[in-house]
Structure 1
């Protein structure tokens, strides 16, 4: 591989990485090159010049999704040639799958350039179900120790307990190798639903059931909810209860992503996972070192003002040595939020998405 090709940046952005010695999670800026994946730390709103680590890609193995970390469904695993495991978390399923696909392509290219052979995977569209015993699949899903995790979800201000999302079911089926690909897992989940082993919960999954074709009764969607049928009582039935405090988290997710936010008191900059929702319109932010269940902050977008900040100099109210791509949101109660995106395009995409909801 020539020097110019080696120095090509294939992809870059924030991922949350688990430490090797201390198993805590920290956001890092990752840069994918043709032969390695490098990562950096952000300090004071600027990426440091010191490379914190690198992962050599030759003969690496990628597992995506990797679902052994509770409350972290967006993790994929990278195992190096020497057997070292790296656990990386993206901000969304699309980002997770795109990162995994780009890394896999780089690994395959290295293998081909070395004169080796690359195995071709079965096309998911051609995957078929053969001699599947749905009762055994249900038993595996229902297993207390290794079955699918059940949680509480909010839909339109209503809290549903003891259920799971459609995408969580598909992830679990692929992870347990009961299905080889997401398309096959979707077909299997549709069969479980059609046979009455699973049932819809809330309006999203019910509407999907009504409008879907014969091959797509089940929705691979993080907002479509399902549960076991009422005949299964070990884990309890789904109960709905009104939760006024959850109303602001019940909106449709419009956009997710990692952004840097300046603190209100200490004025320090930290990477946060931002989630933009509509109906009702809210912008919440989460600590990516923890989970995306309980936001550390958020505000209604009603009557908010959002604007891009000039990259020349340091705008009033901003502290630190910025890299640029700043924008500001002023809430109805006159609270100012200063936020930094990774790129100019990312900044403009967020501004446009927020403006549509204000």
Structure 2
């Protein structure tokens, strides 16, 4: 690989990384090169020119999904040739899988260049998949119940109600792949559909019920981050589903229209922090989360009703903006006249966010 090829940027963006010595989580800007993954810190809203670290990709092993963090289902793991483990979290399942696929492709190209052979099957898919006709659905459900390695029961919101002791369709698919009961997400959907068809699992809420009414057997169990399911009522070992309604539940009940990492200026200290923004509709709200925390509750948010959103000129520092900014700025003014200054990673991200927000105001 020549010097120009090694300096090619394959992918870049925000990921949240777990520290090696102190196991806290920090948002970092990652740049994928053909032979390494670099990461940088953001200072005052601008990427630090000094890289904070690098992960060499030669003979790296990718585990995606990696489900050992209860409140962080979007983590994937990289294990280097020297057995150093790196844990990285993305803003969505789709982005997580994109990053894992891009890194896996880079690792395979390095291996092929070394030995001259054809690409091998990725390490994460080498385990033997159980044949469906030999699978005991009872054993699968027993494994799902396991208090240590089973699927995590959590609280979710739909149509203004908070449901406890349930899980997302995509979480079940992630778990089946992670436990190596299947090789692919397609196989996982098929197996999960069988559990649903045989009455081991049941749908919760409108999204999953609609999936059953409108889809065939293989598509009944949705690999979806909004469709809710639970264990059947006949299984009581791990709690029953309860529905509670609250004001916060109503705010969080809308359909997710867009999510991603953005930089937000603080109202008091005027410093810039990376936050995970989630835009919902019906009701239309924009919430933001601190990715360094394990808490799944938003740290702030506001209704989109009556909001104004506008792009800010990148030439100079606009009024009200502090610090060393990189550009791609936009501003949201709420109905109560609170001003939010936000930076997107790229100009395209900025325009996409502005367009998505305007549709909800």
If the length of structure 2 is used for normalisation, what is the TM-score?
Answer: 0.96
Q: In the alignment, what sits opposite 1:41?
A: 41
**TM-superposition CA deviations, 1:168-205 (whole Å, max 9, x none):** 11111111111111111110000000000000111110
Residues paired across the two proteins, number: 356
Q: In the alignment, what sits opposite 1:68?
A: 68
Q: In the alignment, what sits opposite 2:121?
A: 120
Q: In the alignment, what sits opposite 1:259?
A: 262
- 1-side partners of 2:20 and 2:243: how far apart? 41
Q: In the alignment, what sits opposite 2:134?
A: 131
Within 5 Å, which residues of 2 pair with 1:260-299? 260-291=263-294, 293-299=296-302
2:217 match: secondary structure: coil
Match of 1:187 among 183, 190, 195: 190
- 2-side partners of 1:214 and 1:150: how far apart? 24
Shift of residue 212, structure 1, vs aligned partner:
0.8
Gaps of 5+ in 2: none
Shift of residue 240, structure 1, vs aligned partner:
1.8
Shift of residue 128, structure 1, vs aligned partner:
6.1
**TM-superposition CA deviations, 1:49-87 (whole Å, max 9, x none):** 111100111111111011111210110000100000000
Q: Is 2:359 the partner of 1:351? A: no
Q: Is 2:253 the partner of 1:242? A: no
Shift of residue 291, structure 1, vs aligned partner:
3.7
Shift of residue 214, structure 1, vs aligned partner:
2.4
Match of 2:340 among 325, 337, 340: 337
Whether the 8 Å CA contact 1:127–1:183 is kept in 2: the answer is no
Q: Is 2:10 the partner of 1:10? A: yes
Shift of residue 293, structure 1, vs aligned partner:
1.8
Whether the 8 Å CA contact 2:63–2:76 is kept in 1: the answer is yes
1:236 match: secondary structure: coil
1:215 match: secondary structure: helix
Q: Is 2:234 the partner of 1:231? A: yes
Shift of residue 245, structure 1, vs aligned partner:
2.5
Whether the 8 Å CA contact 1:127–1:184 is kept in 2: the answer is no
Q: Which runs of 4+ in 1 moved over 6 A?
A: none
- 2-side partners of 1:171 and 1:343: how far apart? 30
Q: Aligned Cα RMSD in Å?
A: 1.5
Q: In the alignment, what sits opposite 1:86?
A: 86
- 2-side partners of 1:44 and 1:215: how far apart? 49
**TM-superposition CA deviations, 1:263-296 (whole Å, max 9, x none):** 0000000000000100000000000011462000
Within 5 Å, which residues of 2 pair with 1:118-197? 118-120=119-121, 129-197=132-200
